[in-house]
Structures are given as C-alpha cells and as structure tokens.
Amino acid sequence: MKPLTIALAGNPNSGKTTLFNLLTGSNQYVGNWPGVTVEKKEGRLKKHKDVTLTDLPGIYSLSPYSPEEVVARTYLMEEKPQAIINIVDGTNLERNLYLTTQLLDLGLPVVVAVNMMDAVAKSGDKVDIGELSQRLQCPVAEISALKNTGIDRLVSLAVSAAQQAAAAVPVKLGQEVESVLTQVEEEALPQLPKEERRWYALKLLEKDSQATEKLALTQAQAEAAAAIAADFEAEQDDEAESVITTARYEAVTALLKGSHVKKDRHALTTSDKIDRVVTNRWLALPIFAVVMVLVYYISVSTVGAWVTDFTNDGLFGDGFFLMGNGRAAYEEKLEEYSTAQIYTEAFEQAAQDAGVNLEAGPLSQQARTLTAAAQFMGEDSPEPERTEQVTLAMYQQALTVAEPETGDFGTWVPGVPVVVGGWLESLQVAPWMQSLVVDGIIAGVGAVLGFVPQMFVLFLFLALLEACGYMARIAFILDRVFRRFGLSGKSFIPMLIGSGCSVPGIMASRTIENDRDRRMTITTTSFIPCGAKLPVIAMIGGALFGGPWWFTPMTYFIGVFAVILSGVLLKKTSRFRGDASPFVMELPAYRVPGAGIVLRSMWERGWSFIKKAGSVILLSSIFIWFISRFGVADGALRMLEDAQMDQSIAAKIGGLFAWLFIPLGFGDWQSSVATVMGLVAKENVVSTFGILFGFGEVSERGVEIWAALAQHYTAVSAMSLLLFNLLCAPCFAAIGAIRREMNSAPWTAFAVGYQTAFAYGVSLVFYQLALLLTGGAFTLWTAVALMALAGFGYLLLRPEPKGVPVGSAA
C-alpha cells in the first residue's frame, strides 16, 4: 500500500487539536508552516503507521484573508492530500458546515467528523447522521474527541476514502450561482482536470487573484471570466463573493433542515449565563483580578517557589535531604555553628587588637576579662542587625562547636554540581574542563532549568484557563484597555508571567493569534521587572536611596509605563502600522476541561522550553563562561582566578563599550562590565559588582558593597544605571525565547535593538535632565537629551499615519 497523507481541517474550537492527539498519540512532529508563524503539526495514525496526518490551522473558511487560511488552502491545493477529515462542532453545525461546503468544492475525498456528539445529546438536540451523510454525499462519522468515542470508525472511513480516491461531490449553491459557475468552467477552464474546475471557477468569480494567478490562463480566457463575473455582479447588484457566501449559508440551512432538530434556544444556555456574570461590566474586572491573583500566588509564591527553591538550592545547588528528613535538625546545628564562628572570629580579633595571646600556656588575666563585640549582619542593611558581647567562656564554648556533617542527619543527596564536580575531580580532568562543566554548563543551564517547575505550574494554569474557556474571556475583558496602546487583551498574561521570569512570559505570548499583537507583546514583555532583576533593584535602592518601601514598586510602574509608551510609539511605526486588527473572536462554550488535554498542553510548552535550555542556553552558557573566565593575564591568554575578573575578555568588552555610557552617567568600566554580565542573567549584575569592587563573593543583594557603591555613584547616575539595566536587552535565555517565538532573525534583532535603544534613550534623558535640575551646567549632552525627549514626544503624539495597511507584515 502506498503511503497516504490525510489532512485534518476544521473551525477553531471544534476540538481539532484533541482529535489530532487522539489519532496520532505521541507520534508527532511540530514545526512551522513555511514563511509564517503558524504552527504545523504532523503525525502518523495509530494503527496505520503508513498514513501521515497533517493538522491544518483552525479556520472558518478558505478565503485569503488570514495567514492560517492561506496556509490551509495552499496546502490543500498544492500538496493534494489523499483525503481530508473535516471535523465539525455538532453543537454549532450551521457555522461549521460553511467550511465543509468549501472543502467539498476542492475535488478531494472528504470525510466529515461530527464532534461533541455527547454535548449535542445532552442539550436535547438531534443530528441525523445518516441523513446528513446522504445529503452531503460523503461519509459522516459521529464522534466525541473528549470522550474518545467513534474514533475507530472515523479512521477506517478516512483511510478507505483515501484509498478509493473518489472526489467529493460539491454542495449545490442554487440555480443562479451554479449556472454562472458552469459558464466560467466551460469558457475559461476547459484545460483543467474536471474535479479542479469548480474550485478555480469559484475563485475566478470571487476575484481571488492569489488562488488563480498560478493558472496561467490565456488572455481570452481571463477576459471571458472577468466578463462573466461582471455580468453576474450587475445582475445580482452585489459583489460575487457576497452572493456566493449567502448561497453557501442557504445551502447549509437546506442541508440541515430535517437532518438536525434543535431544541428551542431562546432561553440562555448555561454558558451564556456564566458569561453574563463573568463578563459583566461591573464584575468582570474584579473576577479577573481574583483569578489572576490566585494563579500568580499559587504558581509564583507558593508551589512554584517551593519547587524552584528545591531545584536551585538542592538539585543544582549543594544538595538536599531525601524527603526533607533531618533538614530541620541540620539547619539548627548549622545556625549554631555559624553563631559560634562569629563569636570565635570576634573574640580572636579583639584578642589580637589587645595584644593578648590565646594560644600559649595558661591564659593571662587580661584574656580572662577580655570581651569582644560580635556583630550579626542583617540581609537588608550594611549596619549590624544586633551586637553581642563575647566573653572567654563563650569563646571556649564556641570553639567546641563542630561544623555539622550533612550525612549525620538523614539521607543526604548531593546536588548535580557536587556530584559531577567530584566525579570530574576523581577522574583528574583538567581544571579548566571542570570549570567549564560545573561553572559554565551546569550553572548556566541549571539557573534556567531552575525555573522549569515553576513554569510547569504556570503552564498548567494557563492550559486550564484555556481549556475551560476563560482565556478567551480575558482577552475580551481587557481588549478595550490594551487596544489603546497597540496590544491585545491577551497580552496581559505574558506580562504577568514575565514578572516572574521573562522566558515563560514570552513563551505565553503564543496564545495571541494576531501576528502584530504577538510581536508587540514579545518586544515589550521583558520591560516588566523579572525575579532576577529584583536583587539589582534592591542593591541600588539600598545603597543609594536608603531602601525605601516604594523603591521596588516604583520599578514595576516604570516597567508598565515603558510597555505603554512603547505600545503607543511602535503602533505608529511602519512595522506595526495598519488597520487595528478587528477584534472579533469566537468564545468557546465553558466546559470542564479534560485532564489529558490540559496536561498535554502543559507538557508541550514546558518541554519546548527544556529543549531550548539544551541548545541555545547551553551554547550561550559555554560562551559566557569562556569570556568571563578567560583573559589575557601575565602576557598570555589563560584561565583567571575569581579576583582577576577585571582582566577577563568580558571585562575588556565591557571596557570597550564604557564610553558609550558616559552620557548616561556611568561610563566607568565596572558598570559596563556588570551590564554586559547582566545579559547572562540579571542577578549577575550584583555578583559582578562584588567581584569588581574587590569584595569577592557577596550576598544576594550585595549588602557588603553598598558603601562602595554609594561612593562610586551619585543617586542620579545609579538611577540611570538601574533604568538602563531594567529596560535594555534581557538575558540570553529571554533573547532565545524571543527568537523562538518571533520565528524570525530580523524580528528578533528588531526587538532586542528596540529594547536597548529605548533603554538608552530613557537613561540619557533621565540622567541629563536630572543633572540639569540638580544644578548641573547645560552641556552638549543636555541638548542631545532634550532633542531625544522631543523625539520621543513626537513619536508618541504624532497622528497615526494612514496608508498602506500592513496587516500581517512579514
């Protein structure tokens, strides 16, 4: 038997994806259709491994107005699959059969699968499948993809239709349209195979040049077709396309008369009743806020954070206690040990200062009466949290406290870096190789993989919201607000997730169908401060502004403001211009989501992220490891000690760019190196400062270097540095996500370039104007900043240019 290809076509929300998964199981290949960011899925039929099933995008018709429709019809006309499975929603036959009538015109074998028959039965409607099949003159199967019924019969109908290769019989569109079609077929298309003529005759009448340009008609034929169409339109006093659309709906109504019994539907359905509450003008936003707070709280603050902490500190950190047994006891001992350490150090320091010998012979009287002040540092301030007086007795007691061994408290499982590091050491692998694997690859990939559990929780919620039908309502509720600055109602979700980590945030933009809205969302999502930017914010806020409570919230406002400004500004540029995409979307009925569908959707998104971590992030980790660990020291390129970071290649690159930041107030090489290192991961900015200011390792918020920072920067220049780091290109992982979601190198370059240029502009204007206002002199750069500000203002306020609608600009 020769290999067969069957295409799966249907309306959005008709259960197509569910059916596709049922039919192919895990035998799937996911890619993109050429030239567009429309997902293409292919798979092999279960039990019929020689049959390939191609999942077409969800479409309402085969007109040429959306990328999805163009993809679907080009595929059907040019690749000519051996059969089409047309899935239709049984609860909404009238609208779904519209597409069916178009598919039947293509001259390919068609099998209709009426889905959601369980819901049809429940609602009290009746569909006479036998009658419908007879009227459509094609096989019709009744199925429920959700309940997995009727699938085997559908498969056998589809496979035998593909083998018999009998072209479907078109639905007649009424006397007038039929006679004009025959006329076009005879006069313009006699050269085509018989079963293809009807489709092209329709396209000629509809003046659908995209479909007919490949026909290579003779001039006489083209003119004949145009003349027939013109006569027809004059006769009907309407566009041919509208006449044909109406005729199709009439044909569908006729088909259903007698084969479809609907219960009286004037009463609102349950779904409508839910909508009256959930999308109510007063309740919509509060309900939405509650749902979002719940989703965010559970996935970011509780479940997500537990699992992520475990992954970062346990799996990719030092290690963890199996099932948590013994952890509390261990931590208690560890606390005791660190207190003892502080006592000992303080006492020994005091003894040294007083010239008292603690080692030799009997202790002197002075040693007995000596007390030392032990300072306990807090997390948020360079001042000690508390001070205790240490006496000799306390010191001697402290000396006896031993460092606790993890193995004594429970089953200790060492983390990946510890295991791999130990293993490499035991093999006596070269130190640079050990460093590459442990500090470069495991640390780099691990840092990103640490977000995986949190992302899975988030993706689970997203899948739930999508499957139950609420996601579409979110878009509806927020559309009015977001539309004003060029975003879509669905842009909210990426931004919300982006406040945890930009990578899943950017990936969540995939739920936005419209290309332009999606690209705009991808470009602006990383303006929202992510979790990794918080330490940087805390460091600058603490060191230069005394850590006021409003500092961190302010950065969120800056982020939101940057999104709004960018939206308004970009909307008016030629890249994003065009008629605002009409907001018309189908809202699926609320339903209880199937567990399989939700889990599968969560898994697909999560897995695609893990795969990326394995490729892009792996490569960039190696690259960053190299440029930050290697440098020219002592006249040769070699690996550096931690303290020599100022000689690394990264530092040299930072130094090279330092002059660029002079107008922004932080033209020293340390700032630019820290900024460059921030591209790896934003929290690196803090640790880089630690190393560059000679403090070695610093705590998360860099409390140790606050004093040094306060000396190094002015409030204005530090704020400018923070602004730039908040808004400029995100970390490599996020850039990788942008690349994937844009599915285009030029668009990725545009997004990253725009972010950086925007950040530069904002910092420049802020720094120069703040200098001027705080009594600085008016310099050339002040003038440049004022011009930049005027430029911003112009771009923001200029009227929206009319002209070439770009629509789905490539």
Partner 1 sequence: MPLHMMTPGSRNLIRKITGKLETKQFLEKLGFVPGEFVTVVSENCGNLIVNIKDSRVAISRDMALRIVV
Binding site for partner 1 (CB under 8 A): 60-61, 63, 65, 89, 91-95, 98, 239, 241-242, 245-246, 249, 262, 265-266, 268, 271-272, 275-276, 279-281, 284, 472-473, 475-477, 479-480, 483, 580, 582-589
Mode of pairing for the β-strands spanning 110-115 and 83-89: parallel
Mode of pairing for the β-strands spanning 48-55 and 39-45: antiparallel
| Residue with tokens 């990328």, as numbered in its chain | 67
Closest CA to 537 of 719, 717, 756: 719
- Give the angle subtended at the CA of 565 by the CAs of 560 and 571, to the nearest 5°: 125
Closest CA to 497 of 486, 484, 485, 510: 510
- For partner 1, the closer of residues 550 and 583 by Cβ is 583
Instruction: Compute CA 19 distance to the chain's CA centroid, rounded to the nearest angstrom.
Output: 25
Consecutive H or E run containing 715: helix 715-727
CA pair distance 670, 709, nearest whole angstrom = 11
Nearest approach, Cβ of residue 473 and partner 1 (Å): 8
- For partner 1, the closer of residues 262 and 333 by Cβ is 262
- For partner 1, the closer of residues 429 and 589 by Cβ is 589
HSE-CB at 19 with a 13 A cutoff on CA atoms is: 36
- For partner 1, the closer of residues 87 and 93 by Cβ is 93
Nearest approach, Cβ of residue 78 and partner 1 (Å): 22
Nearest approach, Cβ of residue 145 and partner 1 (Å): 17
- Give the angle subtended at the CA of 178 by the CAs of 209 and 195, to the nearest 5°: 65
Nearest approach, Cβ of residue 612 and partner 1 (Å): 33
- For partner 1, the closer of residues 249 and 551 by Cβ is 249
CA pair distance 233, 246, nearest whole angstrom = 14
- For partner 1, the closer of residues 476 and 754 by Cβ is 476
Nearest approach, Cβ of residue 658 and partner 1 (Å): 49
- For partner 1, the closer of residues 123 and 714 by Cβ is 123
R_g of the chain, CA atoms, integer Å = 33
Nearest approach, Cβ of residue 805 and partner 1 (Å): 9
Nearest approach, Cβ of residue 583 and partner 1 (Å): 4
- For partner 1, the closer of residues 164 and 242 by Cβ is 242
Measure Cα distances from 274 to 295, 473, 689 in Å.
20, 11, 54
CA pair distance 447, 450, nearest whole angstrom = 5
- For partner 1, the closer of residues 513 and 646 by Cβ is 513
Nearest approach, Cβ of residue 514 and partner 1 (Å): 13
- Cβ contact 785:764 at 8 Å: yes
Nearest approach, Cβ of residue 61 and partner 1 (Å): 4
- For partner 1, the closer of residues 135 and 262 by Cβ is 262
Consecutive H or E run containing 266: none
Nearest approach, Cβ of residue 472 and partner 1 (Å): 7
CA pair distance 385, 382, nearest whole angstrom = 9
- For partner 1, the closer of residues 275 and 515 by Cβ is 275
Nearest approach, Cβ of residue 10 and partner 1 (Å): 13
- Cβ contact 764:664 at 8 Å: yes
Measure Cα distances from 514 to 517, 582, 622 in Å.
5, 10, 36
DSSP string, 47-78: TEEEEEEEEPPP-S-S-SSSHHHHHHHHIIII
